[in-house]
Structure 1
Amino acid sequence: MTETKNTAPSGVQPRPVVGRLPKYAAGKPPAAVLGLESFKLASNENPLGPVPAVLELLRSGLEVHRYPDTSSTLLRNALSDFLDVPAEDIVTGAGSLGALNQILAAFSGQNEDGAQDEVLYAWRSFEAYPICIGLAGAKSVQVPVRADGTHDLDAMAEAVTEHTKVVLLCTPNNPTGPALRSQETEDFIRRVPSNVVIVIDEAYQEFVRADDAVDGVELYRRYPNVMVLRTFSKAHGLAGLRVGYSISQPEVTQYLRAAATPFAVSGIAEKAAVASLENYSQVVERVQSLVDERSRVVAGLKDLGWDVPDAQGNFVWLELGPNTQEFAALTLEHALSVRAFGDEGVRVSIGEVEANTRFLEICAAYTKQPRRS
């Protein structure tokens, strides 16, 4: 029998933009250390997992050989009741990142004349933003966050041009932690042309405790160009099932449906999300226990003299600069994994009580901590 050789050209190359994109670095698992239980604090996962009703549902053997409802009607109706918004204003996606990709596909990219649309966002922020924007064919415009990790909304408003098609507002900002405030956000929206889509990314919304924090759903009700991103990955503990959604008014949503990935949310994910909403009081209890742990960690760091930005997500940010990689390696030696960002800083997820305590012990012994100026 004659062997068939692969005749594909050896010089196959992707689009030029792919080679210029930053690489997404997922949180790594912790190293095994003799005598210590290992904990992963690198991916902003909910260490408590989903509520019992969801676990029971997952054990029941759902039909995985059938395609799901591509419109996620059951989930959209449940969210409609939960959020008091029309179900038609909700478009589901594979996590909030999948929902974001649908927004970018619909509203930004490369135009017929070759010109690129601009997508504006704070930096540092969610590291997937520049990747998703580049793959959509658009141009990233990054505006540095302030020294305290907050969005510089004045500078962002000034950076808007006639080519700006989408603005991304991450609140609480991942990885620095602060949440946007209501009045400053509304003032910003009023300064941006009404034909620019403003996306309020609220992946960690349930963890926010700031009294004057922005409410994306309230702003979407009042401004037709405002969209909201939310997810079941964080507070609900369903990260592995990939279910998120966007909320926008009908004149915007109609285009998202055209750009939506068919069957992006599986039937299992949809039913699990609905079950979690039906038991939301338990979700709230679990989130509050993590918020309490966050408060303990932040207080412990401040007692040690560490400078920590306002933490409103399920993580804390340590601006360690050139000591970033050294500190991350040190945590690995103690069976903890954290998320290091180059030579900028370390993001540490709030995890199990034992993990958080060990993290504070490491910080107590570390002598190169970021201090207030």
Structure 2
Amino acid sequence: MASPFVELEVGERTVKVTNPDKVLFPEAGHTKRDLVDYYVAVGEGIVRALRERPTQLRRFPDGIAGEQIYQKRVPQKRPEWVEAARVTFPSGRHADELCVTELAQVVWAANLAVVDFHPWPSRRADVDRPDELRIDVDPQPGTTFADGKRVAAIVRETLDEIGYVGWPKTSGNRGIHVAVRIEPRWEFPVVRRCALAFAREIERRAPDLVTTAWWKEERGEKVFIDYNQNARDRTIASAYSVRPRPDATVSAPVTWDELPDVETEDFTLVSMQERFARLDDVQAGIDDVVCDLEVLLEWVAREETEGVGEAPYPPNFPKMPGEPPRVQPSRARKDAGPT
């Protein structure tokens, strides 16, 4: 008979894992206990990725083939040592989200069938001022992960030119994320506007390969750089998060030198444990190099002078200052009628 629970010693905490034999990844056969053991194995890395950040949780109580619960609010019924950070959404409403400060909190969440963790780019000390600029390289239909890697190489070259340090990781699905640590001096609209200016520079350098068009119908078969991942309440899967795919891939930090030769499928719940035991966290120095936004703020000023202004926000945002009409282009043409 399967054990109804096990108790694990995680640091100074005892964490109960209920139904450890419950299968969460049917195709690969991975259980809840496998998921927990994975997060323990990469503990230093996952805690570094989440530390002090408000974090949203993607839960799969019936396994990844079942219904998913995208949970922004940390459960009120929780151990006293599970911490939270209060955030405000674009709607003006607020919530207390999980705020990881130690590995036991990650294991506690995994016991709730949290497969992947989605942290904010800001920390609890000042949730309104991000300390991370996120460059989301998102291959669109008709493009490939190889195309994404080509774009990431241009991102690296551009960051090098302006003296920024970027830290790449696979998304665990189709794309590539590059994180740049920044001084937490600017609020979300400023950071997002800088991310837009950076994305447009990459588009300028590779116009046949890259797009910053927000509307999908305008992107074509190109790689989209999603500047809106820097808007308030937009999150991405953290480094070391398992993804809800049948093969249990992982959002894997890699070095720039590795990136040209890797594939998403190289990094799974199983293989990442061996890699971490061998290499530790290849991005252990991510918090040691902090960049300012002055160069990108200059790019923003240049764009404004040239008449190149804002771009659309996500649909859940109120109308933002300087934002162009948030109307799908084909719909706008239809509403305008014949010319």
- Give the TM interval when normalised to the shorter protein: under 0.3
Which of structures 1 and 2 has the bigger CA Rg? Answer: 1
TM-score, normalised to structure 1, is 0.23
Q: Please report the TM-score for the alignment, with normalisation by the length of structure 2.
A: 0.25
Q: Which has the higher helix share?
A: 1
Larger relative contact order, structure 1 or 2 (CA cutoff 8 Å, min sep 6): 1
